[in-house]
């Protein structure tokens, strides 16, 4: 189940972007000065961007570290001020996602994941990433290769459980979505990125190094996962070549240029590394949500995914689905009333009037005349710890007898997590060590043990196991984050 949660959130974000960019043409391209097709004005672009920025902050989550956020914003603002669109209300945020990525929305909203932050080693590399994303905004690039299917799926995650949701699940399962620009757009953003970072005094040689990191991350993780910064084209190798050539055109004296490795690494002290188990993990078929203190048991051999705002399980034949999420309603009664009295919903039978000691209700229901035909399901609305949970199990009417038992058992399994060892898990975190003496990275990993393997340690330090590190160097290590036995993220 690794990474499906952030994949899902990217799908969300990119779905939004797709909707947005479908509306978004251009007039004169601010970065190139060339005319472009225009459908919306700058004012509209700004308003849309602001709306979607709110949604992305809510859905992906802003990483809770005010100093880190300020630092990234400061670097970004400096770069944007030197761009062709200095008057946009630029924002730069670190989103709480372990995947290595960065992206931008029209209107000047730029996001870098904490996953990417933990893989970079200097402020100049951060400037390269932000400069590239600023380039997408200033050049008004549009996102291509978005499918309507993905947009339809937003309905499910948003909690509006109606037909397109199940149809989407049944037809496509847990597929992956990418935010993808054209090859030319990526090249142009790379060129603009080099230009912007150079204009602010950074050492442009750090730009190709970012692509080297991405090349290595791709090798480890498989390139199919990661949008934009690891899109399949241009390849990282090509981008290393083209950005190196762009750097060479700037001359060969980069003395006095800013790299700021130490300041950057210090900003990463204690930043979470990898998937955060506090957002939920699986113990076999049981999903534990430590931050909220709840658990639910899904049927064995169903495909399960933690989408952060919801956790979902799909039957092997993809013809039944279970979804647990937080209801926005203030009480279980209100949530249940809203759901069961929804237009098209057929009220069923009450199975429980409390759920494992928590106030709530479990009822069956039907939904008629959806795109997927008539649906049957079972729903729980339960209060615990100041939150209202909604657990839905849905299948097609003709499959109900086959799934009734499994869906009902799962929905009724929702309960508070009372085992403190399961509830107290913590994420892995970065620690920055100043080396007291010269040593290789391998020696470092023995003297300062990490909770990731040597390969990962080498990757995040942009080094090899045998790389000789000097006394006084700042080096990342990863500490903590041990999981209960048998747990998977
Ligand atoms: Zn890009």
Tens digit of pLDDT at every position of the chain (489 positions): 223 334 444 444 444 444 343 333 334 566 665 555 445 577 877 887 888 788 778 777 899 999 999 999 999 999 999 999 999 999 999 999 888 888 888 889 999 999 999 999 999 999 999 999 999 889 887 643 333 333 333 333 323 333 333 333 322 222 223 356 778 888 999 999 999 999 999 999 999 999 999 889 888 766 444 445 555 567 888 899 999 999 999 998 999 999 999 999 999 999 999 999 998 999 999 999 998 999 999 999 998 888 777 888 888 888 888 989 888 889 999 999 988 887 667 878 999 999 999 999 999 998 887 767 788 999 999 999 999 999 999 988 999 999 999 999 999 999 999 999 998 999 999 999 999 999 999 999 999 999 999 999 999 999 999 999 999 999 999 999 999 999 988
pTM over 0.85: no
The angle formed by the CA atoms of residues 22, 23 and 28, to the nearest 5 degrees, is: 110
- The per-residue b/e assignment along 204-223, b for 16 or more CB within 10 angstroms, e otherwise, is bbbbbbbbebbbbbbeeeee
CA of 312 to the centre of ligand 1 (A): 30
CA of 228 to the centre of ligand 1 (A): 5
CA of 307 to the centre of ligand 1 (A): 24
- The dihedral built from the CA positions of residue 399, 405, 406 and 408, taken in this order, carries a sign that is positive
Q: What is the pLDDT of residue 446?
A: 98
CA–CA distance, 167 with 370 (Å, rounded to integer): 9
CA of 137 to the centre of ligand 1 (A): 10
CA–CA distance, 202 with 258 (Å, rounded to integer): 4
CA of 12 to the centre of ligand 1 (A): 18
CA–CA distance, 8 with 177 (Å, rounded to integer): 8
CA of 13 to the centre of ligand 1 (A): 15
CA of 196 to the centre of ligand 1 (A): 15
Q: What is the pLDDT of residue 199?
A: 97
Pairing of strands 310-314, 320-327: antiparallel
Q: Which residues contact 245 (CB under 8 A, 6 or more apart)?
A: none
- Among 484, 481, 262, 437, CA closest to 448: 437
Tell me how crowded residue 456 is: count the other CB atoms within 10 A of its CB.
17
CA of 69 to the centre of ligand 1 (A): 21
The angle formed by the CA atoms of residues 93, 153 and 310, to the nearest 5 degrees, is: 65
Q: What is the pLDDT of residue 57?
A: 81
CA of 181 to the centre of ligand 1 (A): 7
Q: What is the pLDDT of residue 34?
A: 56
CA of 241 to the centre of ligand 1 (A): 16
User: Helix 183-199 vs helix 123-138: angle between axes, to the nearest 10 degrees?
Assistant: 130
CA–CA distance, 13 with 58 (Å, rounded to integer): 10
């Amino acid at each position: 189940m690794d990474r499906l949660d952030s994949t899902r959130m990217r799908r969300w974000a990119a779905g939004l972007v797709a909707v947005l960019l479908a509306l978004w043409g251009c007039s004169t391209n601010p970065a190139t000065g060339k005319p472009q097709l225009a459908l919306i004005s700058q004012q509209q672009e700004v308003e849309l961007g602001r709306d979607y920025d709110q949604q992305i902050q809510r859905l992906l989550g802003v990483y809770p570290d005010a100093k880190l956020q300020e630092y990234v914003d400061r670097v970004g603002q400096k770069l944007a001020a030197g761009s062709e669109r200095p008057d946009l209300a630029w924002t730069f945020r670190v989103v709480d996602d372990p995947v290595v990525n960065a992206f931008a929305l029209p209107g000047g909203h730029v996001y870098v994941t904490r996953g990417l932050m933990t893989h970079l080693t200097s402020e100049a590399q951060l400037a390269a990433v932000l400069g590239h994303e600023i380039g997408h905004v200033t050049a008004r690039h549009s996102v291509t290769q978005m499918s309507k299917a993905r947009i339809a799926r937003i309905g499910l995650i948003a909690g509006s459980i109606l037909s397109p949701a199940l149809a989407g699940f049944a037809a496509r399962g847990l597929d992956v979505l990418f935010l993808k620009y054209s090859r030319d757009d990526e090249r142009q953003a790379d060129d603009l990125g080099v230009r912007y970072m150079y204009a602010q005094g950074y050492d442009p040689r750090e730009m190709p190094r970012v692509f080297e990191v991405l090349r290595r991350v791709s090798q480890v993780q498989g390139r199919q996962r990661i949008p934009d910064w690891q899109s399949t084209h241009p390849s990282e190798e090509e981008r290393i070549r083209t950005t190196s050539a762009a750097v060479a055109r700037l001359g060969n004296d980069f003395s006095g240029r800013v790299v700021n490795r130490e300041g950057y690494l210090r900003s990463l002290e204690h930043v979470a590394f990898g998937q955060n188990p506090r957002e939920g993990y699986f113990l076999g078929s049981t999903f534990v949500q430590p931050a909220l203190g709840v658990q639910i048991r899904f049927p064995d051999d169903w495909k399960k995914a933690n989408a952060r705002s919801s956790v979902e399980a799909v039957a092997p034949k993809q013809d039944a689905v279970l979804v647990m999420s937080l209801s926005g309603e203030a009480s279980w009664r209100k949530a249940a009333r809203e759901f069961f009295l929804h237009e098209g919903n057929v009220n069923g039978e009450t199975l429980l009037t409390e759920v494992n000691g928590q106030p709530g209700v479990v009822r069956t229901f039907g939904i008629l005349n959806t795109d997927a035909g008539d649906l049957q399901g079972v729903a729980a609305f339960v209060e615990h710890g100041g939150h209202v949970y909604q657990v839905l199990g849905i299948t097609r009417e003709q499959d109900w007898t086959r799934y009734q038992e499994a869906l009902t058992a799962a929905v009724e399994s929702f309960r508070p997590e009372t085992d403190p060892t399961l509830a107290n898990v913590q994420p892995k975190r970065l620690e920055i060590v100043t080396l007291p003496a010269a040593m290789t990275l391998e020696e470092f990993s023995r003297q300062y043990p990490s909770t990731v393997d040597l390969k990962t340690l080498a990757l995040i330090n942009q080094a090899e196991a045998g790389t000789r590190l000097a006394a006084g160097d700042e080096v990342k290590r990863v500490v903590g984050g041990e999981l209960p036995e048998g747990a998977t993220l």
